[in-house]
Amino acid sequence: MSDGKIFDKTDLAILRILLQDARRTLQEIGAEVGLSPTSCWSRIKRLQDEGVIKRYTVEVDPASLGYQDTVIVQLTLESHTEDTLYAFGQVLATIPEILEAYLVSGDYDYYIRIAVRDTRDYERLLREKLYKIPGIRHSKSHFVLRVLKQSTVPV
């Protein structure tokens, strides 16, 4: 893994290009950073091997698939044993509407970001999925009104 490693300006330039559009060709990326396609590929391969580049993916607009709303749920569990936290995480992973889930410090145990079609869809998800998970003590929901910033890691 790349923990603590320093990357040169060419590595960072390649990462910025890939974050913007991972479909760019080696020729295009190389020309933009001043490398041959072969040298460019060597750097990308090294970044993959070191775990810096974890995967290539597609960003989909949730609203175009009918998911008009995002809900942030703060959640607290009854128990905090390692087994309970592991089991809870495993169940969350099976719920497709859950986009992200974070175990956090503070007043709540988890922050969960959920995509829903509307308020009725959220109520259904609560009744049929989330509240069926054993061990939930308390939850608090917040509908996102507007996204002000959404980005990847700064490169």
10-26 per-position pLDDT tens digit: 999 999 999 999 999 99
The model's pLDDT over 28-82, given as tens digits with 9 standing for 90+, comes to 999 999 999 999 999 999 999 999 999 999 889 999 999 999 999 999 999 999 9
Q: What's the rounded Cα separation, in Å, for the pair 90 and 63?
A: 27
Q: What's the rounded Cα separation, in Å, for the pair 40 and 10?
A: 9
The model's pLDDT over 91-147, given as tens digits with 9 standing for 90+, comes to 999 999 999 999 999 999 999 999 999 999 999 999 999 999 989 999 999 999 999
Exposure class string for 57-77: b at 16+ Cβ within 10 A, else e: eeeeeeeeeebebbbebbbeb
